[in-house]
Amino acid sequence: MTCALELPVLSKRDCYKPCLLRHIFLHEKNMALSHLNLLRPVLCRFLPSVSRTPLVTSSRVPSLPHASCPTVLPNHVRHYATKKSKAKAKGQTAKVNINAALVEDIISLEEVKEDMAAVLTTLKEDFSRSLSIRTSPGALDHITVTTKDGKFPLNQLGQISMKSPQLLVVNMTGFPEATAAVTRALQDSSMGLNPEVEGTIIRVPVPKVTREHRENLVKVAKQFSNKAKDSLRKVRTNAVTRVKKSKESVSEDTIHLVEKQIQQMADGYVADIDKQLATKTKELLG
């Protein structure tokens, strides 16, 4: 594309006039800008479309005089840590594995582990005895009867038998004086029993397995698991107390590591208690 500048014809005398020279300069400038505006769409159409500039070779970026031609800037991306990754990193704690033989003078970690394991064993026994949907004579063995001579398991005071899937019978011929105490113990149990007394024979109708009964058993299971967690917390507290008594003869770093080891053991058994509760709840609700 060519452009011709139409200049006014000047005489030799007029070329020396300053105002006239200024007029000619402005005229040429306006003509050049007008032709540049005509070429701008063509230039913009042939500019490459760049979405990301990995390397900037020049510190000065030329700017076009008009806004109709888009300016492409480098796309710098900064990655931030998400809430999920932060929570995951926060939840990860360094595990401690202390050799029990090295801290025997402070505390026996094996004994602490046995005490914690005993809590979990007791919970499993409570689940199997008290939270069974199936009816059996052993379903009443765990009930403790309080008499004037002390506390005794029900199966030591009476003979338990099953007449039908919905009826259990307790024969109190051997200890007739404990019949009233056994009846109260059956009523106060968490099984929802309503015993019927006929002399030294106690008939115990077994409630039907309804949805409400299953939900009540789940509540009892939660009570057992909370009781187990309380017992586990006592074992941990007693162990930590024994460790802190050795501050005079052991460094603080060692005591801190032992306490962390005990807490780590307790956390593991708490997880096992939660697993037992989840399994039992699924079994009870069907």
User: Which one has a higher pLDDT value, 135 or 216?
Assistant: 216
pLDDT given at position 207: 74
| pLDDT at 132 > cutoff 50 | yes
Confidence of residue 116 (pLDDT cuts 50, 70, 90): very high
Where do the domains of the chain lie, and which CATH numbers do they carry?
100-131+211-285 (1.10.132.20), 137-205 (3.30.1360.40)
Query: Which residue matches tokens 């700017």?
Result: 63
Q: Virtual CA dihedral for 227, 232, 236, 241, nearest 10 degrees? A: 40
In SS3 terms, 23-40 reads as HHHHHHHHHHHHHHHHHH
pLDDT given at position 154: 87
- At residue 50, the 3 state secondary structure works out as coil
User: What average pLDDT score do residues 251-270 get?
Assistant: 91
User: Cα–Cα distance between 241 and 262 in angstroms, integer?
Assistant: 11
Given a contact cutoff of 8 angstroms between Cβ atoms, the answer to whether 191 and 130 are in contact is: yes
- Tens digit of each residue's pLDDT (9 = 90 or more) over 216-244: 889 989 999 999 999 999 999 999 998 88
3-state helix, strand, coil in the chain (%, to 5): 55, 10, 35
User: Cα–Cα distance between 194 and 153 in angstroms, integer?
Assistant: 19
pLDDT given at position 133: 64
pTM above 0.85, yes or no: no
Burial class (CB in 10 A: 0-12, 13-18, 19+), 203: middle
| pLDDT at 15 > cutoff 50 | no
User: Which one has a higher pLDDT value, 180 or 64?
Assistant: 180
| pLDDT at 110 > cutoff 50 | yes
- At residue 143, the 3 state secondary structure works out as coil
Those residues with Cβ within 8 angstroms of residue 281's Cβ, 6 or more apart along the chain or in another chain? 218, 221
Q: Which of 4-13, 90-99, 224-233, 243-252 has the highest mean pLDDT?
A: 224-233
pLDDT given at position 275: 96
| pLDDT at 66 > cutoff 50 | no
